[in-house]
Structures are given as C-alpha cells and as structure tokens.
Amino acid sequence: MGLGYIGLPTAIIAAKHGVQIIGVDINPQVVEKTNQGQLHIVEPGMQELLQEVITNGQLKASTTPEVSDAYFIVVPTPFKGGNHEPDISYVEAATRSVIPYLKEGDLYVIESTSPVGTTDKMAKLIFELRPELQDKIYIAYCPERVLPGNVIYELVHNDRVIGGMNEVSTEKAITFYRHFVQGTLHRTNCKTAEMCKLTENSSRDVQIAFANELSLICDKADINVWELINLANKHPRVNILQPGCGVGGHCIAVDPYFITAEFPMESKLIATAREINNYKSFWCAEKIQNAMLRFELEHHHKPVVAMMGLAFKPDIDDLREAPAKYITTRVMQSCNNADILVVEPNIKEHKVFKLTDYKEAYEQADIVVFLVAHTPFKSLPYNNSKIILDFCGIYKK
C-alpha cells in the first residue's frame, strides 16, 4: 500500500526476489506509469529493475488492493498543526482499505514512520471491524532505513528491526523479509521498533545540530569550523558531523517531532536540536542579506548574487523540505531588484526558479553563496575578488 520513495522500491526488490506483488497507490497516474514500466521517482538503477519485474509479471500496480497473503503499509506520515502533531490518517486509510480482504493466516506490516503506539492502534481498528480475526492474523512494525540514492543496495543489505504484536507475528514477518533482506533481522516488539526508527533519525538530527551550533560559534570567534571539526575528529572517540545550511528532506527534519509532540517534557535535547537546525537556515538567509546590503553601501549598486544549490543534500535532485530552497526564496523576497542567479545542476528546470548554469552564475556573481555541496561546485576555483559565503564547506581549507 503506497508506491512512493520507499513502497515502490520495496515492491520492485521483493518482486525481483520472486514474491508476487500487487503495488497499490491512490494516485492513478502513479499506477499507470508503474504498469508501463516507467519509474515515477528518481533512484539510480531502479528503472531497469522496474521494467524487468513488470515485463515478467512479478509486479502489477493497481488503485485498489486485492486478496493477498501479506499487506504492507508504506504511506506518508506527515504532521499537522503548529505543534507538529503526527498525522497517521494515511496509515489508517490504507489499513481500512485492506481490512475487508484480510483472512486467517495473513500478515499485516506497517513500514511507515509512525508515532509510538500506531501498530497497536491499527490492530485495535482491524479487530473492531473483523473480530473473528483476533489471534488469527499476524501484525508487525518494520521501519525502512534506506538512504535515497543508495536504495537498491540498502534495501537488501541493511539490518532491519522487526517488532511484532507478539512473538509469532515477529517470526512471521521475519520469514517474509528473509525473501530479500541479507542484513540481520532483529526481533523486538512493535513499540520498540516504532521508537527505534524515530530514535535513529533524531540521533542524526541532534548530531547535525551540534555541528551547526559549532558553526555559529566559530563564525563569531573567527575560526574555520571545517578545520576545527576535522581536527576534533582526530580524537579516537569523537565523530562530529558536518554543518550546513539546515536540515532538510522528509525524514530527519520531520521524525523528531513525532517524539517531541508526544513527550514534550522529556525531549528537551531533541526539540532544541530541531530549533537549532531550523535557525541555521534563517541565520544563513540573514547573512546573505547583510552581505548584500554591505556590498550596495560600498559599491553604490546592487550585487549580482549566485545561490548555488537548491536540493536538500548534495548530488540529488530532491528539493523537498530543502533549506537551500527556503533560503533562496527568503532572500529573493527581500530584494525585488537585485539580480539573484539560482543554480541547481541536478535539475533541468523549475516552475518557480529560473535556473542558471553553475559556471555562468559563478562567473557573473559579486556574491557567491554555496548552499549545497554538489560535486561540480568543488571544481570552481576560489576567486578572491568575489564575496564567497560558503555554508556547506566547498572550500574547507
């Protein structure tokens, strides 16, 4: 259930390993494209695999479920409201749509990132509507852990945590994942498995916040934060991540809120990390605006500014929740007349931003702002005559 960034690759890989798959999505265009063997997401190597499993009939897409032996819920869990309350309505809708098909011996697994207690809630819903299935079906939670861009490898090789409602459910789910997972399958209960996913991404968010906080301190102290982190990491037990222009994407910048919304009194560090990482983007925008004002005062004309990168991390074309996109929008809104050149080498065009080639933008700009450490940017020679704001460590030395 759900043919997005995780559901579709999982369906393809399982199909490739001999499982007969019906991929269900509420979006008819996604279903149509998938059945034509066209990948609607960007993921290296996946297009060929999709073509193969569609051609040999192992995978078929549909807008409605069919009777199966196992059901996997792989739909988004966004948040709602100012308090970032998790919204599990898609998980619930997908669950409701499979309930009529469930039969004795079936397996039901949630993979969607979910607040603690979601699997229990969905089990309750299933048994309310189908009381005769009590103790006759297997229910588990098994989060995905793959890194976009490396999905084919990680879906097969990463370890997975599998938490059943009871031990037999865990075992049943393990038997399924064995079809294509070569990593170790770790047994637990569903609540721990739910919390484990949130913990993994919150841990990364907290670690990035530490690096971002250091970058703010170093800016004031006039210390090169990249050199500092590199040196600190020479300690055998220190491993600091890299600062950037904020934390983006649809996982790390979202999942910690699933903890803070439910446990606000206890999750002070996790909440502060979120604030620091959000603040870092705001701070970058302010820095750029200040540099532009200073330039105008000195030169009596507005600067040409190159905004280098829009994606949420290096070398991808995914702009979802991208801090670079937020910063670029904010800067553009604050200066109607200034020349802002927007650069994103990983996409051809964008419906809001007019894109400029990265070499051309670098050439023309008075102020160059590095927002994302895309590989091509690293070959641009450092030009002393320009004002360079390097928020992502293109020129680390």
Q: Say which of 251, 284, 313, 392 is annotated catalytic.
A: 251
Shortest separation between residue 247's beta carbon and ligand SAJ, angstroms: 4
Q: Does 204 bind ligand SAJ (CB under 6 A)?
A: yes
Q: How far apart are the first and last CA of the chain?
A: 48
Residue 283 near residue 229 (C-beta atoms within 8 A): no
Q: Does 201 bind ligand SAJ (CB under 6 A)?
A: yes
Amino acid at 268: K
Nearest residue (beta carbon) to ligand SAJ: 251
Comparing CB distances to ligand SAJ, the nearer of 137 and 198 is 198
Q: Does 241 bind ligand SAJ (CB under 6 A)?
A: yes
Comparing CB distances to ligand SAJ, the nearer of 322 and 368 is 322
Q: Does 195 bind ligand SAJ (CB under 6 A)?
A: no
- Which of 250, 247, 249 has the alpha carbon at shortest distance from 270? 247
β-strand pairing of 79-80 with 138-141: unpaired
Comparing CB distances to ligand SAJ, the nearer of 204 and 330 is 204
Q: Does 252 bind ligand SAJ (CB under 6 A)?
A: yes
Residue 335 near residue 289 (C-beta atoms within 8 A): yes
Q: What is the number of other CB atoms lying within 10 angstroms of the CB of residue 186? A: 15
Shortest separation between residue 170's beta carbon and ligand SAJ, angstroms: 21
Environment class of residue 29 by beta-carbon count within 10 Å: exposed (0-12), middle (13-18) or buried (19+)? exposed
Shortest separation between residue 371's beta carbon and ligand SAJ, angstroms: 10
Q: Does 87 bind ligand SAJ (CB under 6 A)?
A: no
Q: Does 2 bind ligand SAJ (CB under 6 A)?
A: no
Among 35, 97, 242, 364, interactor with ligand SAJ by CB under 6 A? 242
Comparing CB distances to ligand SAJ, the nearer of 7 and 164 is 7
Q: Rounded to the nearest 5 degrees, what angle is found at the Cα of 5, between the Cα atoms of 142 and 262? A: 50
Q: Does 272 bind ligand SAJ (CB under 6 A)?
A: no
Among 32, 52, 120, 200, interactor with ligand SAJ by CB under 6 A? 200
Q: Say which of 16, 172, 197, 280 is annotated catalytic.
A: 197
Q: What is the number of other CB atoms lying within 10 angstroms of the CB of residue 162? A: 25
What CA–CA distances, in Å, run from 11 to 29, 72, 139, 144? 17, 10, 19, 13
- From the list 76-84, 119-127, 249-257, 362-370, the region that binds ligand SAJ by CB under 6 A is 249-257
Among 208, 270, 271, 288, interactor with ligand SAJ by CB under 6 A? 208
Q: Does 312 bind ligand SAJ (CB under 6 A)?
A: yes
Comparing CB distances to ligand SAJ, the nearer of 175 and 182 is 182
- Which of 311, 293, 282 has the alpha carbon at shortest distance from 387? 293
Token representation of residue 3: 């043919």
Whether 359 sits among the annotated catalytic residues: the reply is: no
- From the list 43-51, 120-128, 240-248, 264-272, the region that binds ligand SAJ by CB under 6 A is 240-248
Whether 197 sits among the annotated catalytic residues: the reply is: yes
Q: Does 248 bind ligand SAJ (CB under 6 A)?
A: yes
- From the list 51-59, 98-106, 196-204, 337-345, the region that binds ligand SAJ by CB under 6 A is 196-204
Among 146, 162, 214, 338, interactor with ligand SAJ by CB under 6 A? 146
Q: How far apart are CA 312 and CA 247, in angstroms?
A: 8
Q: Does 393 bind ligand SAJ (CB under 6 A)?
A: no
Q: Does 303 bind ligand SAJ (CB under 6 A)?
A: no
Among 24, 155, 247, 331, interactor with ligand SAJ by CB under 6 A? 247
Comparing CB distances to ligand SAJ, the nearer of 139 and 209 is 209
- Catalytic machinery residues: 197, 251
- What is the contact surface with ligand SAJ in residues (CB under 6 A)? 144-148, 200-201, 204, 208, 241-242, 244, 247-249, 251-252, 312-313
